[in-house]
Structure 1
Amino acid sequence: MSMSGLYFDIGRKARDLLYKGYAQQPANHLQGIDCSLDLSCQIRDIVPGLRTLFNFSIPDSAKVELQYLSDYGGISGGFGLKSDPLAGYNPLINFSGLIGSDFLSLGTDLAFDISTRTFNNFSAGLSFNSDFLIASFNMNDKLDTWKASCCCVMNPSTETAIAAELKHTFSVNDTAITIGGQHALFPFTLVKARVNTHGRVGGLIQQDLWEKLALTIGGDVDLLDIKSFPKIGLSVAFRV
């Protein structure tokens, strides 16, 4: 579960291009079918600048979040439940803040685990934004994981863009580079592909069937592991 509030927007453009929609590690297994369900909604303008968000990721997590936004920043607070294989569901409290402008912004995120009375996460980051280039630097997972990413929009009319991410995790001394791109073949058909230095290659096709319904077929394979099988995922998104 992402309990990262407004902080989640830092680096989101590159992250969505490189990871959103791809076949992921299955969350649940039911009679030979790996499945999960994500539901989210938000209520805007409760009062000017204030909105509420709800998210349910079955069987992984659930959260509710309250955000206040202004022209030069915002704050958010949330409460959620995160699945734990040993302890069931852990309750988390999250606080997130963002300050800056459309050109440069700074943000931080703090999560507290009520059951263990420990800080579950602390993250910080900054983002540089322009019409052509969006770049960011994040320090996540209690500052254990450092990521630098960028996304270049080549042609907005065809959604053509490329993105790259450099990620280093100190606890396991692991460094990975991921690059990817996307292009709209037709107004309602988007294709994406990515590859990283660990030998993982992925791709997907997203088709908008109707105005509020999208179908995505994605695949992922580890080229360095001859014993692994390609993962193929199918997802349906309904927007209201």
Structure 2
Amino acid sequence: MASGPAPFSDIGKRARDLLTKDYTFDHKFTLTLPSSTGMGLTATGLKKDQIFVGDINTVYKGENTTVDVKVDSYSNVSTKVTVSGVLPSTKAALSFKIPDHKSGKLDLQYLHHHAAIDSSIGLNPTPLLEVSAAIGSKDLSLGGEVGFDTASASLTKYNAGIGLNRPDFSAALLLTDKGQTLKASYIHSVDPFHAVAAELTHRFSTYENSFSIGSSHTVDPCTVVKTRFSDNGKLALLSQREWRPKSFITVSAEYDSKAINAAPKLGLALALKP
């Protein structure tokens, strides 16, 4: 709901997107063929070093149902069926992979004006249970998530966080890795065309601190340039251009100042949508 809090996974998302989204240092090609009948087809190919992988994804969208089927280059078939509106403010999704008969999973999402709850359960004799929740409003939210492995009767994760969202800035504080890592992030929109973001990470077990800072600049209505610098000496640059409606070409580069004998990483991503 627009007036309610976003799911827990969205806390800190605005800063993460500026710092990491669309950066790729491989070669990626995506072709999307929409259809007026509700059936869409997407083909993706990725060349990483000397390995090439790909998949074909078909999505059917009905009034309250979405069916997503993906076949990858290893002949694995992934299927996800999402149904909304069965109960007010509720969405359910059933997913499974073939031939992995233990991959079945049921996801439930409930959105309220003051709460967002997501739950997941594996459909096997010893399922993995995961629950996340956020309470508050669209401006201020507090939440957490927990995962429980019934096979070992142990917690696989427990995280917590708080997020503050305003039209021109967003701040988040997250306690992750079972309480071993503290992350603070901030993004500020200087104006409609420029934004800056930063993320600071502290690890309690090793007393290590790390950070990343980045910026986004809208050069013109079709071109965006992003930069990122990390404390490990890596500098990244991204340029993305929408050369036709909903079709993008993205060029990424990363230079490691501590590896002076290594060549910079270069990546190219082409997304076509007729």
Matches within 5 A, 1:75-154: 75-79=117-121, 92-154=128-190
Deviations 1:143-195 (A, max 9, x none): 11101111001222x3x211011111223332112110001112122111110
Give the conservation status (yes or no) of the 8 Å contact 2:190–2:196. Answer: yes
Give the conservation status (yes or no) of the 8 Å contact 1:23–1:231. Answer: no
CA distance in 1, matches of 2:269, 2:163: 30
Q: If the length of structure 1 is used for normalisation, what is the TM-score?
A: 0.76
Corresponding residue SS for 2:88: coil
Deviation at 1:139, TM superposition (A): 0.5
Matches within 5 A, 1:182-197: 182-197=216-231
Give the conservation status (yes or no) of the 8 Å contact 2:26–2:49. Answer: no
CA distance in 1, matches of 2:106, 2:115: 20
Are the structure 2 counterparts of residues 132 and 223 from structure 1 closer, same or farther at C-alpha, using a change threshold of 3 Å? same
How many pairs does the alignment contain?
A: 220
Confirm or deny that 1:181 pairs with 2:182: no
Instruction: Tell me the equivalent position of 1:172.
Output: 206
Confirm or deny that 1:70 pairs with 2:112: yes
Corresponding residue SS for 1:214: strand
Instruction: Tell me the equivalent position of 1:87.
Output: none
Are the structure 2 counterparts of residues 128 and 31 from structure 1 closer, same or farther at C-alpha, using a change threshold of 3 Å? closer
Corresponding residue SS for 1:198: coil
Instruction: Tell me the equivalent position of 2:79.
Output: none
RMSD (Å) for aligned C-alpha atoms: 3.5
Give the conservation status (yes or no) of the 8 Å contact 2:240–2:251. Answer: yes
Deviation at 1:140, TM superposition (A): 0.8
Deviation at 1:63, TM superposition (A): 6.7
Are the structure 2 counterparts of residues 19 and 213 from structure 1 closer, same or farther at C-alpha, using a change threshold of 3 Å? same
Which has the larger displacement, 61-70 or 215-224?
61-70
Give the conservation status (yes or no) of the 8 Å contact 2:11–2:162. Answer: yes
Gaps in structure 1 of 5+ consecutive residues: 82-89
CA distance in 2, matches of 1:165, 1:38: 35
Are the structure 2 counterparts of residues 130 and 143 from structure 1 closer, same or farther at C-alpha, using a change threshold of 3 Å? same
Deviations 1:2-42 (A, max 9, x none): xxx9221100000110111213699x977714657697976
Q: Give the letter aligned to residue 15 of structure 1.
A: R
Which has the larger displacement, 172-181 or 143-152?
172-181
Give the conservation status (yes or no) of the 8 Å contact 1:193–1:202. Answer: yes
Confirm or deny that 1:51 pairs with 2:85: no
Deviation at 1:208, TM superposition (A): 2.7
